[in-house]
Amino acid sequence: MPPDYPDIMRRAPFEAYVLSLPATTLVRQWRDDSVAKIGGRIFCLLDKDPGEVWLKVSDLAYPLLTELAGIRPAPYFARAGWVAISAESPLTEDEIKAYIARAHRLVAARLTRKIQRSLGLETLFDGAAF
């Protein structure tokens, strides 16, 4: 039986959600994947429609998430701390969205202050602890 994909693993809802995050751009690249970027840097993508959500996670979350069924190191991106979340994972749609938002912040935090200012992100990090 094919997996039951949460909406966030379908192109239209995925793209709408990532574009709701500050200063996000969206491109289609590789095999027509939906690739979300901030400041020109990728923070997550949808691999196929419907398909897996690949995203950057924290150094603490990476080993914990990859122990769960349905979550694996993301091909080509694993060395940078990325995971691929499939429909078989135990994560809810809200949890996946929270990980996407966190990936957005993780990548945005690594942008130069000049780029952060140009994107209007300086308030995103005021007093934020990473």
CA distance 62 to 83: 7
Evaluate whether the domain defined by 7-124 bears CATH number 3.30.300.30: no
* 3-class DSSP assignment, residue 114: helix
- pLDDT tens figures, 115-127: 999 999 877 665 4
For 27-84, give the DSSP string: EEETTTEEEEEETTEEEEEEETTTTEEEEE--TTHHHHHTTSTTEEEPTTTGGGTEEE
Q: Give the per-residue pLDDT at 15.
A: 98
Mean pLDDT of 43-66: 97
Residue matched to tokens 């209007």: 120
Query: Using 50, 70 and 90 to split pLDDT, how confident is the model at 2?
Result: low
Q: Give the per-residue pLDDT at 126.
A: 59
CA distance 126 to 130: 11
Q: Is the full-model pTM beyond 0.85?
A: yes
